[in-house]
Copies of this chain bind each other. A is one copy, B any other.
Amino acid sequence: MSIDALHGFLDEVFPQLSDGGGRQVVIEALTPGQVRVRQRYAERSLRPGGTISGPTMMGLADHAMYVLVLAHIGPEALTVTTNLSINFMRKPGPADLLADARLLKLGKRLAVGDISLYSDGADEMVAHVTCTYSIPGG
């Protein structure tokens, strides 16, 4: 699937990811086995200390992996996460979050990938995630 086709599918399935001002989560780049997704900064994601919450980071990583799997297998809305493991390493400040997802295995039943999370404008990874999706009918 192309970026446009993915955006169209996601707008339909997850209307809550768009609000009045446009998409909160945007696919910026897609190549075989890799995708970059940007989540726009929103004040409601902040935690005490001015950092972005863990669930926001986990949600973005999971979403980036979902986009990457869909890009390779087509629009299967019911593909589901079976395992997600995250290491939190640095606190992201109030900025966009970037997720670089990489497909490590695309089997008939399971897809495995890892996702590196960055805070826009900073070099060091803020969190590292591994994620497994179950592929229906595989």
Residues of A at under 8 Å CB distance from B?
13-14, 16, 44, 47-49, 53-56, 58-59, 62, 77-78, 80-91, 104-105, 107, 109-110, 112, 114, 124-125, 128, 130, 132, 134, 138
CB of A81 within 8 A of CB of B54, answer: yes
CB of B78 within 8 A of CB of A88, answer: no
- Determine how many copies of this chain the complex contains: 4
Q: How far is the CA of A56 from the CA of B128 in the complex (A)?
A: 19
Which of B54, B84, B86, B109 is the one whose CB lies under 8 Å from A59?
Answer: B54
CB of B49 within 8 A of CB of A78, answer: yes
Q: How far is the CA of A58 from the CA of B82 in the complex (A)?
A: 13
* A44 vs chain B, min Cβ distance (A): 7
Which B residues lie within 8 Å of A78 (CB)? 49
| 29 cross-chain CB contacts under 8 A | A48-B77, A54-B59, A54-B84, A55-B55, A55-B56, A55-B58, A80-B88, A81-B88, A82-B88, A82-B132, A83-B83, A83-B87, A83-B88, A83-B132, A85-B85, A85-B130, A87-B104, A87-B112, A87-B130, A89-B104, A89-B105, A105-B124, A105-B125, A109-B109, A109-B134, A109-B138, A112-B128, A128-B130, A130-B130
